[in-house]
Amino acid sequence: MGEAIIFIGLLIFAAHLFAMIFSTKKIPDVLLLLLIGIIIGPVLGLVYPDFLGKAGTIFTSIVLIVILFDGGLDISIHDLKLSWKPTITLSLSSLVGSIILVTSICMLIGLTFINSLIVGIILSGTSSAVVIPLTQNLKLGKSTKTALVLESAITDIICFVLALAFMEASKEGSGVNIGSVAGGVFSSFVMATIIGFASGIVWSSLLQKIRTFKNSMFLTPAYLFIVYGIAETLGFSGAIAALAVGITISNMEYFHFKFLERYQKNRELKLTDGEKDFLGELVFVLKTFFFVYIGISIPFDNTIALIAGLSFTVVLLIMRIFIAKFFSPKQSNGFDKSIISLMIPKGLAAAVLASIPEQMGLAQGDMIKNVVYATVLFSILLCSILIFIIERYPKANIFMRFFFHPKRKNKTNASLNEASSSEILEIENKDGESF
């Protein structure tokens, strides 16, 4: 027990060191934390995923809630208006393309069509728990950052609803009602947004009173857990509800209701700097343990699954490059598009969904879990490493050089094309020129 407590303390110190390394050397802390998990888990066998039992599932849900809420606090209504159309386009194009490609490859390695489709759906989204921390440490345009955060939340819903529908169909041996699935996705998104919006309005109106309580800092996360639980219990997306609460609280200047005027007039309706700092510390600690936990959970005893996971990651990256080229927000510059093309990491949603087929007793359920877990590993590794390379060494940004270079519209752009990659990156980050 003493050794475990010492390790937890050292891990938190190491996480702060990794964060400093990320800000100075551009080596993502996500990558380093993942490697620690792999070393103490699959490599040395000191810790196993089963060690946490059901607590592991609860922990990953808490991480998702807090990270999505924190991400929502950084989204303004103005940015949302600019980004919702490209977000939908980016999300759907990536979703459909991923499902088609992954399903095709799964059938080649021996999975049945329905199981291949399930894997394709599970791996079609991006992970909020990975995307949000990475985007917060990168110099991205507001519209790009907003689109990536919203994409990760939207695809989570679609993946959950579609994957569960096909799992049930596979278990019962029946067909899938397309209308029912589409209705489930739409209702989950809309109702979760309404629940989150209403909850955000209520909490903002009560914040001034809540602050008079002693030791009240943790009441906001506690409230989030309740909102998430209510949404999930009603059959809607708790993740979207948590995101909506964050967006609502950070944009209270847009929401004025007569019946709430007595609770809102002359009051601080947003989180204070101190409350945001506390939330940031909470996100930091949760993120630290989450990525170590993911590293511990990766199986290394199935060669076929590892090869399949690596293949999926490479194929999804290639596809994502073209999606970033044609479906990025109009305001995105070359560097932004490079980052969009790398945002293929899989995480919490994929890991949770991957364990369900085996629990349901579906044929090839163990293979589905191993393939998805391997893809989670390689997608996070590849995303983190490539982001490090293009952040640390701008001249190595082949994505911007060959795929996202500026068009020759005038002399200024022509001279810009002749500049070195590092100069291009510097100019783009300075003036946010759109390509």
What residues in the chain have per-residue pLDDT under 70?
26, 53-54, 172-178, 181, 257-269, 399, 401, 405-435
| CA distance to 43, 153, 336, 414, per residue, from 227 (Å) | 39, 16, 33, 53
What is the C-alpha separation between 37 and 126, in angstroms, rounded?
21
State which H helix or E strand residue 270 sits in.
Answer: none
What is the C-alpha separation between 17 and 425, in angstroms, rounded?
27
| CA distance to 143, 273, 340, per residue, from 146 (Å) | 5, 21, 11
Place of tokens 């309740």: 226
DSSP for 163-182, written as a single string = HHHHHHHHHHT----HHHHH
CA 31 to chain CA mean position, Å: 15
The helix/strand/coil state of 351 is: helix
What is the C-alpha separation between 121 and 155, in angstroms, rounded?
10
Place of tokens 């199935």: 302
Tokens describing residue 328? 């990025």
Largest CA distance in the chain: 67
Tokens describing residue 433? 């020129």
Asked if 405 and 417 touch (Cβ cutoff 8 Å), the reply is yes
pLDDT value for 283: 87
Please report, as a single letter, which amino acid is at residue 53: G
pLDDT value for 392: 80
pTM check: above 0.95: no
Give the angle 220-223-226 at the CA atoms, nearest 5°.
155
| CA distance to 58, 114, 211, 358, per residue, from 261 (Å) | 37, 54, 19, 52
Residues 6+ apart with CB under 8 A from 256: 264
What is the C-alpha separation between 148 and 319, in angstroms, rounded?
16
pLDDT value for 228: 94
pLDDT value for 432: 46
pLDDT value for 258: 64
What is the C-alpha separation between 59 and 105, in angstroms, rounded?
32
pLDDT tens digits for range 114-158? 889 999 999 999 988 788 888 877 888 888 988 998 898 888 778
Asked if 201 and 258 touch (Cβ cutoff 8 Å), the reply is no
Question: How big is the chain by its Cα radius of gyration, in Å?
Answer: 22
Nearest to 247 by CA among 153, 326, 336, 174: 153
pLDDT value for 67: 84
pLDDT value for 414: 40
Give the torsion sign (CA, 192, 181, 348, 60): positive
pLDDT value for 340: 92
Nearest to 271 by CA among 280, 284, 259: 280
**411-420: long-range contacts (C-beta < 8 A, 24 or more apart)?**
420/395
Please report how the helices 273-297 and 54-73 are oriented relative to each other, as an axis angle in degrees rounded to 10: 140
By the 10 Å C-beta count (0-12 exposed, 13-18 middle, 19+ buried), 25 is classed as exposed
Write the CATH number of the domain with boundaries 54-404: 1.20.1530.20
Nearest to 289 by CA among 69, 29, 44: 29
pLDDT tens digits for range 3-43? 888 988 999 999 999 888 877 776 778 788 889 999 998 88
DSSP for 107-122, written as a single string = HHTT--HHHHHHHHHH
| CA distance to 62, 137, 294, per residue, from 285 (Å) | 12, 16, 15
